[in-house]
Amino acid sequence: MAHRIVTLPGDGIGPEIMAPTLELLDRLGDFEFEEHLFGGASIDAHGVALTDEVLAACRGADAVLLAAVGGPKWDTTDPARPRPEQGLLGLRKGLGLYANLRPVKPLPALYDASPLRRERIEGTDLLVVRELTGGIYFGEKTRTATSASDVCSYTTAEIERIARVAFEAARAKVTSVDKANVLETSRLWREVVSEVHSREFPHIQLEHVLVDNAAMQLVSSPRHFDTILTENMFGDILSDEAAMLTGSIGMLPSASLGADGPGMFEPVHGSAPDIAGQGLANPLAMFLSAAMLLRHGLGLASEAAAVELAVAGALAAGLRTPDLGGEAGTAHACKAVFENI
Ligand code: IPM
Ligand code: MG
């Protein structure tokens, strides 16, 4: 039976990188795609970034594939106006996708594309496990004419379940990142992670690192890391930083998973409105997100590996999009990858 995938191209370069990704998937298996408006595109049509119908469609699918949302057209600081990002947050919360996996493994072909020296990044192979449905993103927000607040809160249960994901994913070591010298949520985080560790995963090494120090070590010694476990906002920031190890944020895929139900798969980069519609977008993070969909969403590990090998092969053969310092446009990049499938 065909795998049912809801596709959300979203805004900016989203549609340009989604279309070839569906072509790629079609070469690998039997899929039924159902496309919906999302983000800014949905605001324009329906006044909200995520409609109940689209959320219901996602719930009923085998997996959700998302490209990117947002753009200057919908940028606002007015809390009363809808923002495209609300769709993303609504989908994460609505599908219970508490675990966000962001693997960072620079490809040898791209060692010289990173702003960091080759000796620094060589051999880096880390995974950021970011808590995705709690913390300051989802706490109560207030706003008056002269003040504003965002509450950051975590429960023991929320920390336990994301800690388990990290310990299960780790090869040998988990680096739990917090700000326990300042934040109460971080002190609870540290205690709960330590308990889950000693009770259930004593064979895995655990270290606690403060977030500012982790940010430094990510660029000074990225090989130090195996699996980074962290809360929602720290994970957001550290994963953009880690992306540059791969040469470009245009290379980084992600998977968002819940306890049951479909997972959601999306590139870490945004909608890049500055290059939208010009055929310049790098589709590789989107292809690699489709690979994560195949592996984590549908259990199709060899199909996932085929995509990853094709991407690595195209880069090894010299493919470079503008974000990687080259001149290849989207169509050229797609052709180069398809040839290697
Ligand atoms: C990400 C993005 C989102 C986030 C934005 C678009 C809301 O930066 O997925 O990393 O902050 O989670
Ligand atoms: Mg981010």
Which tens digits make up the pLDDT trace of 24-83?
A: 999 999 999 999 999 999 999 999 999 999 999 999 999 999 999 999 999 999 988 999
The fold of 115-246 is: Isopropylmalate Dehydrogenase (3.40.718)
What average pLDDT does the structure give for the chain? 96
Q: What is the pLDDT of residue 248?
A: 86
Residue 140, pLDDT > 90, answer: yes
Q: Which ligand is nearest to the CA of 232?
A: 1
Specify whether the CB–CB gap between 188 and 152 falls below 8 A.
no
Q: What is the pLDDT of residue 26?
A: 97
Q: What is the pLDDT of residue 114?
A: 87
Residue 164, pLDDT > 90, answer: yes
Residue 291, pLDDT > 90, answer: yes
Q: Which residue, judged by its Cα, is nearest atom 8 of ligand 1?
A: 236
Where residue 134 falls among pLDDT bands split at 50, 70, 90? Answer: very high
Q: Which residue, judged by its Cα, is nearest atom 5 of ligand 1?
A: 85
Separation of 68 CA from ligand 1 center, angstroms? 10
Beta strands 63-68 and 173-178, pairing class: unpaired
As a whole number of angstroms, the distance between CA 259 and CA 221 comes to 33
Q: Which residue, judged by its Cα, is nearest atom 6 of ligand 1?
A: 85
As a whole number of angstroms, the distance between CA 222 and CA 216 comes to 9
Classify the phi-psi angles of 202: left when phi > 0, otherwise alpha if psi is within -120 to 50, otherwise beta. Answer: alpha
Residue 112, pLDDT > 90, answer: no
Q: What is the pLDDT of residue 113?
A: 85
Q: What is the pLDDT of residue 281?
A: 96
CATH topology agreement for domains 1-98+250-341 and 115-246: yes
- pLDDT > 90 fraction of the chain, expressed in percent and rounded: 92
Domain 1-98+250-341: CATH class, spelled out: alpha beta
Where residue 249 falls among pLDDT bands split at 50, 70, 90? Answer: confident
Distance linking the first and last C-alpha atoms of the chain = 23
Residue 104, pLDDT > 90, answer: yes
Q: What is the pLDDT of residue 156?
A: 98
The single-letter code of the amino acid at 1 is M
Separation of 269 CA from ligand 2 center, angstroms? 7
As a whole number of angstroms, the distance between CA 89 and CA 233 comes to 13
**Ligand 1 pocket at CB < 6 A:** 85, 88, 236, 268
Where residue 217 falls among pLDDT bands split at 50, 70, 90? Answer: very high
Catalytic residue numbers read 137, 179, 212, 236, 240
The H or E element that residue 231 is part of is none
Q: What is the pLDDT of residue 1?
A: 83
What value does the mean pLDDT take over residues 121-134? 97
Where residue 166 falls among pLDDT bands split at 50, 70, 90? Answer: very high
Domain boundaries defined on the chain:
1-98+250-341, 115-246
Confirm whether pTM is higher than 0.85: yes
